Copies of this chain bind each other. A is one copy, B any other.
Amino acid sequence: KRGREKVIITCAVTGSIHTPTMSPHLPITPDQIAEQALAAAEAGAAILHLHARDPETGRPSPDPDVFMRFLPRIKQQTGAVVNITTGGGQGMTVEDRMQAALKAQPEMCSLNMGSMNFALHPLAERYDGWKHDWEKPFLEGSKDFIFRNTFGDIERILKDLGEGCGTRFEFECYDVGHLYTLAHFLDKGLVKTPLFCQFIFGILGGIGPDPDNLTHMKSVADRLFGGDYRFSVLGGGRHQMGLATMGAVMGGNVRVGLEDSLTMGPGRLAVSNAEQVAHIRTILESLGLEVASPDEARTMLDLKGADLVAF
Q: A residues engaging B (CB < 8 A)?
A: 114-117, 119, 121, 143-146, 148-153, 155, 174-177, 179-181, 183-184, 204-208, 210-216, 218-220, 222-223, 241-243, 245-246, 249-250, 265-266, 279, 282-283, 286-288
CA distance A242 to B247 in the complex (A): 10
Least CB distance from A60 to B in Å reads 19
**Of B153, B174, B249, which one neighbours A246 at CB under 8 angstroms?**
B249
- Measured between beta carbons, the chain B residues less than 8 angstroms from A243 are 249
CA distance A235 to B181 in the complex (A): 17
Q: Does the CB pair A177–B205 fall under 8 Å? A: yes
**Of B177, B212, B265, which one neighbours A288 at CB under 8 angstroms?**
B265
By secondary structure, the A interface counts as helix
- Measured between beta carbons, the chain B residues less than 8 angstroms from A115 are 115-117, 146, 205
- Measured between beta carbons, the chain B residues less than 8 angstroms from A205 are 114-115, 151, 177, 181
Q: Does the CB pair B150–A117 fall under 8 Å? A: yes
**Of B175, B181, B204, B246, which one neighbours A184 at CB under 8 angstroms?**
B204
11 A-B contact pairs sorted by A residue (CB < 8 Å): A114-B205, A115-B115, A115-B117, A143-B155, A144-B152, A146-B148, A208-B220, A210-B220, A211-B249, A212-B215, A219-B219
Least CB distance from A67 to B in Å reads 27
Q: Does the CB pair B175–A177 fall under 8 Å? A: yes
**Of B174, B212, B242, which one neighbours A218 at CB under 8 angstroms?**
B212
Query: Which residue of B has the minimal Cβ distance to A121?
Result: B151
- Measured between beta carbons, the chain B residues less than 8 angstroms from A222 are 223
**Of B117, B153, B215, which one neighbours A181 at CB under 8 angstroms?**
B117
- Measured between beta carbons, the chain B residues less than 8 angstroms from A266 are 288
**Of B146, B181, B210, B265, which one neighbours A223 at CB under 8 angstroms?**
B210
Q: Does the CB pair B174–A177 fall under 8 Å? A: yes
CA distance A272 to B104 in the complex (A): 53
CA distance A153 to B150 in the complex (A): 20
CA distance A144 to B219 in the complex (A): 29
Q: Does the CB pair B286–A176 fall under 8 Å? A: no
Q: Does the CB pair A287–B242 fall under 8 Å? A: yes
- Measured between beta carbons, the chain B residues less than 8 angstroms from A213 are 176, 220
Query: Which residue of B has the minimal Cβ distance to A279?
Result: B286
- A-B pairs, 10 with minimum CB distance: A144-B152, A242-B249, A180-B208, A212-B215, A215-B215, A265-B288, A177-B206, A175-B177, A144-B150, A115-B146
Q: A143-B152, A242-B249, A286-B286 are in contact. Are A176 and B208 (CB under 8 A)?
A: yes
CA distance A44 to B211 in the complex (A): 26
Q: Does the CB pair A211–B250 fall under 8 Å? A: yes
- Measured between beta carbons, the chain B residues less than 8 angstroms from A265 are 288
- Measured between beta carbons, the chain B residues less than 8 angstroms from A288 are 241-242, 265-266
Q: A150-B143, A176-B208, A212-B219 are in contact. Are A282 and B287 (CB under 8 A)?
A: no
- Measured between beta carbons, the chain B residues less than 8 angstroms from A250 are 211, 246
